[in-house]
A and B are shown apart, each in its own frame.
Chain A
Amino acid sequence: MSTVEQTSAVEQHREPTPFQEKWIRLLRNKGAVVGMGVILLFIVLAIFAPLIAPHDPLEQNISIRKSPPFTESHFLGTDELGRDMLSRLIYGARLSMTIGILSVGISMIGGVAIGVVSGYFGGWLDRIVMRFIDIMLAFPYVLLTIVIVAVLGPSLTNAMIAIDISQLPRYVRLVRASVLAEKESDYVLAERSIGTSDLELMFGSILPNSLAPVIVQATLGVGEAILSSAALSFLGLGAQPPTPEWGLMIASSREFVTSAWWIVTLPGLATLLSVLGFNLFGDGLRDVLDPRLKE
């Protein structure tokens, strides 16, 4: 690894590598930079939640319940049980980021593996896999996640599994399509003629050249996963009280639309902002990684 870095450091003086060139183009994309900033902010909040949060997110104090924002020591006010809103939102970031990134990671790895193998070998294996994927895509996304959680039982882990399964088909399709295009290309034929094994060809040569659309999709997928887990928790199928999960916070705020706007709006704004971050970044990545859309 270190030798690779050293060589690239030497080359830097002559000409930027393709990676550097893409990186520079990404940094010129305002949306992508803002998105990256937002994502970083939420990741920092998630990692350092115990250090940043001013209060314990579960600590109740009935005497100060439903205090509006800017009440002393409660910058964003308190909820119906007197818990500090800001601290709950910060801990909520921890859950949403974990679920978003983890569930997309799992379905991406699964989908990529299935897609590469299916596309590479083709034939009956490919036909069976694609038939199955078609059936999965016949279920509308939201409905599929809800039914899977209903079968597995409501919990945050099961919500994550449901999101994994529901997002899997799109990675399979994406990767399979690019593998089909790549596997007949000259460099693959050349490598095969010198006796490179199937496994090495699939994951060593073809996959790295097929990853760009997957990375874009995964970035956008994190935003979607955050939305889905909030939606499932909102329906009572994900996180359970008193977990400080954004969707659950929105659900329990329903009674307060007449009395406490901050309990209703803030968790939704946090969800919106984090998803927007991933979408901005994903859009910017697509512009850079997919030359067909380059303007």
Chain B
Amino acid sequence: MIRYILRRLLLLIPTLLGVLTIVFFMVALSPGDPARVMLGERASPAQLETIRAELGLDRPLGEQYLNYIFRAVRLDFGRSIKTGRPVMQEIRELFPATVELALVAMVIATSLGILIGVLSAVKQNTWLDYTSMVGALTGVSMPVFWLGLVLIMIFSVGLGWFPTGGRIEVRLFFEPITRLFLIDGLIVWIRDGDSAYLQSAIRHIVLPAIALGTIPIAIIARTTRSSMLETLRQDYVRTARSAGIPEKRVIFRYALKNALLPVITVIGVQFGLLLAGAILTETIFAWPGIGRWIYTAISARDYPAVQAGVAVVSTVFVLINLIVDILYSVVNPKIRLQ
């Protein structure tokens, strides 16, 4: 077991190095001059030279690359061209927003997805099964950014139930504690007896979390259904039934426990994708997370920010997938032998 984990961790090093390398060259070879982006169109050649020297852009590409790698392994990606602040500091401030959104989306997706999947499997080939599976396939086929707009149109503009974007009402600004606003709101409520923060945070997260959770709901429901169908055909389930154990107990205590194994992998992978793929949802709902930040950085040609953002997000993505693999091998020893 430990050998397996060590081998996977060792394999992580070349992968991450490859990620950093690809990110560096993609950004370095992209059109546009960072110095000009910083100084604007009217900068004099002398000013441009000074900035290039400052950023190390006058060095040969190979030297720039080695410099970048050595700094990147120490998590130093330099300063943002746009704001002048260290990019890692900006990421540290923004990442909790993305994590919070992805977590809430995942809680919704997991509970609904498993419920729908189990119900469709138990009621296989009934109208309930057909409706859920057509629904799930529709969910997978959904342009998420459009769903976000439609949700805003109906629930924010039409019914006025939820705000159209942001994480909290601007007038409620407060000094963040954990930067997870739901937790912060809870702390403020307990500490000061003021629930306005928590209420506002909840109202803001509902629509983006639903939009972001739609595809995972669909995928989790489909996986749960097929895994559950397979489990229900197993001998031990038949034995349990013939022993007179009540059907509900057979389904939830005996079958579901085993059927959930592949579902856990899917949940992990989806969570990784949500952390990385929230760009569209965050853009639609003006959610100040890492996805929207990377997108803004790309539009502004803020190279250090793009490099850091993509590297960090990909690293998190790889790490989550690794953790999922290891967890899965813990519960299913057959995997380790491969």
* Bound Cα distance A235, B280 (Å): 8
B272 touches A140 (CB 8 A): yes
Chain B proximity mask over A142-154: 1 for CB below 8 Å, otherwise 0: 1100111011110
* Chain A residues within 8 Å of B272, by CB: 140
Check: A253 CB closer than 8 A to any chain B CB. yes
A138 touches B143 (CB 8 A): no
Check: B149 CB closer than 8 A to any chain A CB. yes
A223 touches B298 (CB 8 A): no
From residue A104, how far is it (CB to closest CB) to chain B in Å?
15
Check: A141 CB closer than 8 A to any chain B CB. yes
Q: Which residue of A lies closest to B137 (CB)?
A: A279
- Per a CB cutoff under 8 Å, which of A139, A150, A257, A283 touches B298? A150
* Bound Cα distance A234, B281 (Å): 12
Check: A131 CB closer than 8 A to any chain B CB. yes
In A228-267, the 8 Å CB interface with B consists of: 230-231, 234-236, 247, 250, 253-254, 257-258, 261, 264-265, 267
Q: How many residues of A contact B (CB 8 A)?
A: 45
* Chain A residues within 8 Å of B276, by CB: 140, 142-143
A151 touches B29 (CB 8 A): yes
A146 touches B30 (CB 8 A): no
A271 touches B29 (CB 8 A): no
Chain A proximity mask over B298-330: 1 for CB below 8 Å, otherwise 0: 110000001000100110011000000000000
* Chain A residues within 8 Å of B14, by CB: 131, 135
B157 touches A148 (CB 8 A): no
Q: Is the interface of A mostly helix, strand, loop or mixed?
A: helix
A153 touches B18 (CB 8 A): no
A250 touches B26 (CB 8 A): no
* Chain B residues within 8 Å of A86, by CB: none
Check: B142 CB closer than 8 A to any chain A CB. yes
Check: B31 CB closer than 8 A to any chain A CB. yes
* Bound Cα distance A134, B283 (Å): 29
A234 touches B137 (CB 8 A): no
* Chain A residues within 8 Å of B258, by CB: none
Q: Is the interface of B mostly helix, strand, loop or mixed?
A: helix
If A139-B310, A271-B146 touch, whether A131 touches B18 (CB-CB below 8 Å) is yes
* Chain A residues within 8 Å of B145, by CB: 231, 234, 247, 250
Check: B183 CB closer than 8 A to any chain A CB. no
B141 touches A275 (CB 8 A): yes
* Chain B residues within 8 Å of A151, by CB: 26-27, 29-30
- Per a CB cutoff under 8 Å, which of B137, B294, B310 touches A276? B137
B318 touches A268 (CB 8 A): no
B26 touches A272 (CB 8 A): no
From residue A69, how far is it (CB to closest CB) to chain B in Å?
16
A227 touches B317 (CB 8 A): no
Chain A proximity mask over B113-141: 1 for CB below 8 Å, otherwise 0: 00000000000000000000000011011
B138 touches A276 (CB 8 A): yes
Check: B261 CB closer than 8 A to any chain A CB. no
From residue A127, how far is it (CB to closest CB) to chain B in Å?
11
* Bound Cα distance A143, B143 (Å): 16
* Bound Cα distance A235, B144 (Å): 13
A138 touches B19 (CB 8 A): yes
* Chain B residues within 8 Å of A153, by CB: 31
A142 touches B318 (CB 8 A): no
Check: B205 CB closer than 8 A to any chain A CB. no
* Bound Cα distance A31, B283 (Å): 34
Check: A48 CB closer than 8 A to any chain B CB. no
A-B contact pairs, 27 of them (CB 8 A): A131-B14, A138-B18, A138-B19, A139-B314, A140-B277, A141-B273, A143-B277, A143-B310, A143-B314, A146-B294, A147-B23, A148-B26, A150-B306, A151-B30, A230-B146, A231-B144, A231-B145, A247-B143, A250-B143, A250-B149, A257-B152, A268-B146, A268-B147, A268-B149, A272-B142, A275-B142, A293-B226
Q: Which 8 A-B pairs have the closest CB atoms?
A: A268-B146, A140-B276, A135-B18, A275-B141, A151-B30, A276-B141, A142-B277, A257-B153
Given contacts A138-B318, A141-B277, A272-B138, 18 further A-B contacts (CB under 8 A): A131-B14, A135-B14, A139-B22, A140-B273, A140-B313, A142-B280, A143-B294, A143-B310, A146-B279, A147-B298, A150-B30, A231-B145, A235-B280, A235-B295, A247-B143, A247-B145, A267-B146, A279-B137
A residues in contact (CB < 8 Å) with B: 31, 131-132, 134-135, 138-143, 146-148, 150-153, 223, 227, 230-231, 234-236, 247, 250, 253-254, 257-258, 261, 264-265, 267-268, 271-272, 275-276, 279-280, 283, 293, 295
